[in-house]
Amino acid sequence: MRLVLLGPPGAGKGTQAEVLSRSHKIPAISTGDILREKIKDGSEIGKEAKKYVESGALVPDAVVIKMVKERLRSDDARAGFILDGFPRTVAQAEALDKVLNELRITLDAVLYFETSTAVILERLTGRRVCPKCRRNYHIKNIPPKRDNVCDDCGVQLIQRKDDTEDTIRRRLKVYEEETAPLVEYYEGKGSLKRVSGDLDVEELNSIIGKMFKG
C-alpha cells in the first residue's frame, strides 16, 4: 500500500498513519516527526527548520524534498509507505511524482481528510505527545491510562510548541494558501479519495480499512 494522507493540521493524519502502519506493517513517514527529531538532535537541518516549525510556517521545499527522497529510497519503504504531511505544496507534489517515477512505483491513493475548523482547534489544543515514542494522545478524546503519562513509555507527555491557539491559526492559514491547492492537483490525477476527518478514530479507521480491503 502506498498512500498520501492530505488534510489540515489536526485532521488526524498522524493518528491514522500510525494505525495503518501497524496493521499493514509499512512505515508511516511523517515529515513533521522527522523535522522535530532533527530539531531535537541539534543537526544543521534541525537548526534551520526550528524557526519555521515552531512558528507554524512551512520549511523550505528543497529541505523537505531532499529528506523525503532519501526516506523513500530506504529498504523498509519498498513494500509500501504512508506519507503523512508530505507533499504540502505543488512543488513538493511535483517532486514526489518525479521520485515515484524514478522508483517505478505509483500511489494507491491520496486520502483527503475533510475536517471542520472547530474540530481542529479542539483537537490541537488538547493534544499531548510522548517525547520518547511520539505517540499522540488527546486530553479528552484519547487520554492516557495514567494522567499525562505515556501508556507505552511511562514518561511525562508534552504539548507541542506549535499547538498554541495563535500558532494553530497561522498553520491553518498556511494550509489554505499552500496545501489546499493539492486537492485539485490530485483530483485532476484521479487519485483523490475523500474521508471525513471529523469522525472518531475507530470509525474513520474502519472506513479507510474497507477502502483498501483485498
Q: Rule CB under 6 A: which residues touch ligand AP5?
A: 7, 9-15, 30-32, 35, 52-53, 56-59, 64, 85-86, 88, 92, 123-124, 126-127, 136-138, 141-142, 162, 171, 199-201, 204
Which entry of 2, 69, 71, 160 is annotated as an active-site residue? 160
Give the whole-angstrom CA distance, residue 162 versus residue 181. 23
Residues in CB range of 179: below 8 A, 6 or more apart: 6, 8, 88, 89
Q: Is 194 an annotated catalytic residue?
A: no
Closer Cβ to ligand AP5, 104 or 118, answer by number:
118
CA distance 83 to 79: 13
Whether 22 is catalytic: no
Please identify which of the residues 36, 88, 123, 135 carries the catalytic annotation: 88
Please state, in angstroms and as integers, the Cα–Cα distance from residue 108 to each residue in 2, 156, 180, following that order. 5, 37, 20
- C-beta of 47 vs 104, nearer to ligand AP5: 47
DSSP code per residue over 124-193: HHHEEE-TTT--EEETTTB--SSTTB-TTT-PBPB--TT-SHHHHHHHHHHIIIIITHHHHHHHHHT-EE
Smaller CB separation from ligand AP5, 72 or 88: 88
| Single-letter amino acid, residue 69 | K
Whose Cβ is closer to ligand AP5: residue 26's or residue 128's? 128
For the question of residue 127 being annotated catalytic, the response is yes
Active site includes 128?
no
Minimum CB–partner distance for residue 190 and ligand AP5 (Å): 23
Q: Does 88 participate in catalysis according to the annotation? A: yes
Minimum gap (Å) between residue 12 Cβ and ligand AP5: 3
Residues annotated as catalytic (active site), given as ranges: 13, 88, 127, 160, 171
